[in-house]
């Protein structure tokens, strides 16, 4: 299959962790006509501004990686913003992409769309089978609506307008561009920051909540970016063999998980911290296991490449360049 590297591709959220990784991957593959806007230049919750942008730029493809994203604390504190902003961003982008003639679009979701008690590992078919985790329900509902938007546009306009909108659901991501906020970051950036700070302050110990026994899956963000472009490039006939029109999302995982205990020790080694790790057993653990089943994507021919040791080394290097001097010590 020849791929047109001159087609115009809009990356929404190109300054975020995922959007910037997708941009790197597209450039690496030789795509030469990329368009993007910062949040300040184009607020994607503003319908008129989004409409004008699409009418002006008329991209051929869209990667929708703009979203309001955050950890448990942010999701609990700002549930209204999480549901409103995400629904508005995705409704505006998907609808105006369609109206301006975009045939291919990739919607970025998240594994939090799956029910709290979904069987492990969580396959795509677990969607909408039972209740969601309450803390991020508003965010997850928006993401589920995004998948259903893509499916509905495919079903209504697939034949008449050749619309082919796809969705990927990544597991926990980490890597360059991650959020290292002290209260509001995910587990890997939080551990990197805490071990780094303990190292430079010569702190004797780092305390981690819980028993360390829960298992989690982590994917290096450049792997997700490679998977995203891979999914967009798959021929429709082949893609359609793997998906169902009303269950069309594709999981993107690393393929194996690790305990928080093991993760903490790997991060400690990568950072070069020599103190103790203490697990505070009085604190809650969260779900014991959360892994997605990526066999649908694996069957299409894609596999993650960057293992945790290498990914964490690259993430720490990026942290040192961008964050350490400004935010620690
Ligand atoms: N991070 C993860 O572990 C993870 C895991 C699974 C799935 N995902 C998915 O990947 C996608 C991107 O996540 P990320 O981690 O890359 O998040 P991120 O680093 O916060 O990036 C999101 C980007 O979207 C932009 N944005 C947000 N609201 C906007 C608006 N109203 N108008 C224009 N731009 C707006 C943000 O700009 P500002 O910063 O200027 O607001 C930011 O550049 C999300 O859909 C998320 O669900 C992420």
pLDDT of residue 11: 98
Query: Residue 181's pLDDT band (boundaries 50, 70, 90)?
Result: confident
169 CB under 6 A from ligand 1?
A: no
Query: Residue 184's pLDDT band (boundaries 50, 70, 90)?
Result: confident
Residues 87, 93, 97: CA angle, nearest 5 degrees: 145
Q: Which two tokens stand for residue 157?
A: 């306009």
Q: Is the model's pLDDT at 327 over the cut of 50? A: no
Residue in this structure with the two tokens 């609506």, named with its chain if needed: 145
136 CB under 6 A from ligand 1?
A: no
CA of 86 to the centre of ligand 1 (A): 10
Q: Which two tokens stand for residue 161?
A: 């307008």
Distance of CA 185 to CAs 49, 54, 69, 194, Å?
31, 33, 10, 11
Q: Average pLDDT of 199-205?
A: 96
Q: Which two tokens stand for residue 328?
A: 């620690």
Ligand 1 atom closest to the Cα of residue 112 is 6
Q: Parallel, antiparallel, or unpaired: how do β-strands 276-280 and 104-108 relate? A: unpaired
Is 185:125 a contact under the CB 8 Å cutoff?
A: no
Distance of CA 27 to CAs 11, 107, 302, Å?
12, 19, 19
pLDDT of residue 328: 43
pLDDT of residue 329: 36
Is 81:88 a contact under the CB 8 Å cutoff?
A: no
DSSP 288: S
Reply yes or no on whether 273 is catalytic.
no
How confident is the model over 47-64, as pLDDT tens digits? Answer: 999 999 999 999 999 999
Distance of CA 66 to CAs 27, 70, 114, 194, Å?
19, 13, 20, 28
pLDDT of residue 323: 76
Q: What percent of the chain stands above pLDDT 90?
A: 88
Is 210:260 a contact under the CB 8 Å cutoff?
A: yes
CA of 108 to the centre of ligand 1 (A): 9
Q: Is the model's pLDDT at 291 over the cut of 80? A: yes
Among 10, 31, 63, 139, the active-site one is 139
Q: Average pLDDT of 173-185?
A: 89
CA distance 216 to 258: 6
Q: Is the model's pLDDT at 325 over the cut of 70? A: no
**Pocket test residue of 39, 223, 224 for ligand 1, highest count of atoms within 8 A of CB:** 39
Helices 260-271 and 308-319, packing angle to 10 deg:
50
The dihedral built from the CA positions of residue 197, 199, 203 and 208, taken in this order, carries a sign that is positive
**206-238: buried (b, 16+ CB within 10 Å) or exposed (e) per residue?**
bebebbbebbbbbbbbbbbbbbbbbbbebeeee
Helices 79-99 and 137-161, packing angle to 10 deg:
10
How confident is the model over 100-121, as pLDDT tens digits? Answer: 999 999 999 999 999 999 999 9
Q: H-type helices in the chain, by residue range? A: 17-28, 47-57, 72-77, 79-99, 137-161, 187-200, 221-233, 236-242, 260-271, 295-300, 308-319, 325-327
Count of CA atoms in the C-beta half-sphere (13 A) of 262: 11
Query: Residue 324's pLDDT band (boundaries 50, 70, 90)?
Result: low
């Amino acid at each position: 299959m020849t791929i047109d590297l001159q087609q115009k591709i809009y990356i929404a959220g190109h300054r975020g962790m995922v959007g910037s990784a997708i941009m790197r991957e597209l450039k690496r593959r030789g795509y030469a006509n990329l368009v993007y806007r910062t949040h300040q230049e184009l607020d994607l919750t503003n319908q008129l501004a989004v409409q004008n942008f699409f009418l002006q730029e008329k991209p051929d493809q869209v990667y929708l990686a703009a979203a309001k994203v955050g950890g448990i604390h942010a999701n609990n504190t700002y549930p209204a913003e999480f549901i409103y902003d995400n629904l508005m961003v995705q409704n505006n982008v998907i609808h105006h992409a369609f109206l301006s003639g975009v045939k291919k679009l990739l919607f970025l979701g998240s594994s939090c769309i799956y029910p709290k008690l979904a069987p492990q590992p969580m396959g795509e078919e677990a969607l909408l089978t039972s209740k969601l985790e309450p803390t991020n329900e508003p965010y997850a509902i928006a993401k589920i609506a995004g998948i259903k938007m893509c499916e509905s546009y495919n079903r209504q306009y697939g034949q008449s307008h050749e619309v082919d909108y796809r969705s990927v659901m990544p597991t926990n991501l980490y890597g360059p561009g991650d959020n290292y906020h002290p209260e509001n970051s995910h587990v890997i950036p939080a551990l990197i920051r805490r071990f780094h700070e303990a190292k430079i302050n010569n702190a004797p110990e780092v305390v981690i909540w819980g028993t360390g026994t829960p298992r989690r899956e982590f994917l290096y963000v450049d792997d997700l970016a490679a998977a995203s472009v891979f999914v967009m490039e798959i021929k429709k006939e082949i893609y359609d063999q793997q998906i169902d029109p009303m269950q069309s999302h594709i999981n993107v995982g690393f393929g194996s998980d690790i305990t928080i205990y093991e993760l903490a020790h790997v991060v400690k080694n990568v950072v070069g911290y020599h103190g103790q790790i203490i697990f505070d057993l009085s604190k809650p653990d969260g779900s014991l296991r959360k892994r997605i089943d990526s066999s649908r994507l694996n069957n299409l021919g894609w596999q993650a490449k960057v293992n945790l040791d290498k990914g964490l080394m690259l993430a720490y290097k990026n942290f040192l360049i961008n964050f350490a001097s400004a935010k620690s010590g």
